[in-house]
Amino acid sequence: MNIKENIKTLIIKKPLKLDCGKSINNFPLAYETYGSLNENKDNAILVFHALTGDQFVTGINPITKKDGWWSYAVGPNKSIDTNKYFVICANVIGGCMGSFGPSHENPETKKIYGTDFPVITINDMVNAQINLLDHFKIEKLFSIVGGSMGGMQVLQFISNYPDKARTVVPIACTSSHSAQNIAFNELGRQAIASDHNWSEGKYLSNNTLPDKGLSVARMAAHITYLSKKGLQEKFGRKLQERDALKFGFDADFQIESYLRYQGSVFVDRFDANSYLYITRAMDYFDLVKQFDGNLSTAFKKTKAKFFIISFTSDWLYPTQENKDIVIALNAIGADVGFVEIKSDKGHDSFLLDVPDFLKTLKNFLDKSYLERK
């Protein structure tokens, strides 16, 4: 598969000092755009993707041939209306859709990095992506939007570049990864590491893939993206293509079959080492600590208008954690709106067809765009 021809890439020449202490330069940042930049260059929205997303936000992903991960929200006349806005999304560094990541070759050793790739943070990700503004000669983005890890990037971005966005929309996220979040990520990483094929991260050189481990990681994570109620309603105890239990360990239940399927399709599109690196970046994310325990300080320099959205059934990044961001903003008199959307679809609600969410996001953006000065 020659994926390169379908991927737009910006080569970032100037050195980027990473949080781990290392510097990188001349590295690729893969991105995609939708809609067109207007003459005033004031209609650009930078969308940040979540753990397993990529730059192909909407339409058919040219690599996977499936719908883009945010097709419900982004497109002509949708919440993020590509008739109106110029949407940019980059694959995060550490990722596996063209941006500099562990599956790339180390120019010094001529070997694939694997776990020799430097550990990346959310801060590093946004510091790489700021280069897109120079590339498109955009002085100020109309908005930055993202859910889950995308929301963390939104928070980090506005904290690092307080005057680079007019509106700021973190969705279903947190300002500090909780012990539970870290625990689930560690479960995924250990599933990968315990796959014999992983070979301490050198599987690409060995021409093997730790697909069993990666698939178990995905299955476990997938459960955390859904709600108990949603799972119960969709699957209950329904059996998979059988009338009775088989008294064995095949997928008797539909939920088992569903998870196995989710795991198996994931390994076709995602790199196991990238999964390790990106989950690590999420775990290291602690904006509160970055500002010595006072989250408000992170936002003190910005005049941007914030709108924060959470979901009732999201137990991975629950409403309270989203509200902590609202509280920090109100404490400094920032312009912040907040709504918790009612949905049974769990953390994944932001990716799915949840009309109240899609409508609210559209209303916020369109109204703010009309009133931009």
DSSP 8-state secondary structure symbol assigned to residue 350? G
Given 159, 271, 347, 348, the catalytic residue: 347
To the query of whether residue 347 is one of the catalytic residues in this protein, the response is yes
Least CB distance to other proteins at residue 342 (A) = 6
The torsion angles phi and psi of 305, rounded to 5 degrees, stand at -95, 120
**Residues ≥6 apart with Cβ < 8 Å to 265:** none
- Of 20, 186, 194, give the one whose Cα is nearest residue 93: 20
Q: Answer whether 157's CB lies under 8 Å from 126's CB.
A: yes
Q: Are 204 and 216 in contact (CB under 8 A)?
A: no
16-17 and 23-24: which strand pairing?
antiparallel
Residue 49 annotated in active site = no
Neighbour tally for 339: CB within 10 Å: 16
- The DSSP code sequence of 274-318 is HHHHHHHHHHH-BHHHHTTT-HHHHTTT--PEEEEEEETT--SS-
Choice between 277 and 364, CB closer to other proteins:
364
Q: Which is nearer to other proteins, 262 or 360 (CB)?
A: 360
Tokens standing for 253? 């239940």
Residue with Cβ nearer other proteins (339 or 352): 339
Q: What is the Cα–Cα distance from 344 to 367, expressed in whole angstroms?
A: 28
DSSP state of 67: B
H or E element that contains 223: helix 211-225
Nearest approach, Cβ of residue 330 and other proteins (Å): 5
Q: How many CA atoms lie within 13 A of 300 on its CB side?
A: 6
Active site residue 292: no
Nearest approach, Cβ of residue 164 and other proteins (Å): 21
Give me the half-sphere count of Cα atoms (radius 13 Å) on the Cβ side of residue 144.
Answer: 31
Closer residue to other proteins in complex, CB, 120/304: 304
Which residue's CB is nearer to other proteins, number 80 or number 132?
Answer: 80
97 or 154: CB nearest other proteins: 154
**Site residues (CB under 8 A) for other proteins?**
305, 307, 326-327, 330-331, 333, 335-342, 356, 359-360, 363-364, 367-368, 370-371
Question: Which of residues 115 and 360 has its CB atom nearest to other proteins in the complex?
Answer: 360
Least distance from other proteins to the Cβ atom of residue 334, Å: 10
Of residues 275 and 357, the one with the C-beta less far from other proteins: 357
Q: CA distances (Å), 77 to each of 198, 213, 281, 300, 315, in order?
A: 44, 40, 34, 34, 31
CB of 10 to other proteins, least distance (A): 34
At 199, list the tokens: 């070979």
Least Å from the CB of residue 151 to other proteins: 17
Distance CA 49, CA 365 (A): 18
Residue type, 320: Q
Using CA atoms, how far residue 218 sits from 165, 211, 222, 276, 359, in Å, is: 33, 10, 6, 12, 30
Write down the least CB distance from residue 350 to other proteins, Å.
16
Nearest distance in Å: CB 352, other proteins: 18
Nearest Cα to Cα of residue 218 among 196, 187, 197, 249: 187
Residue 204 structure tokens: 């690409």
The catalytic position among 252, 314, 344, 348 is: 314
Marked catalytic residue, from 148, 175, 313, 349 = 148
Cite the active site residues.
Answer: 148, 314, 347
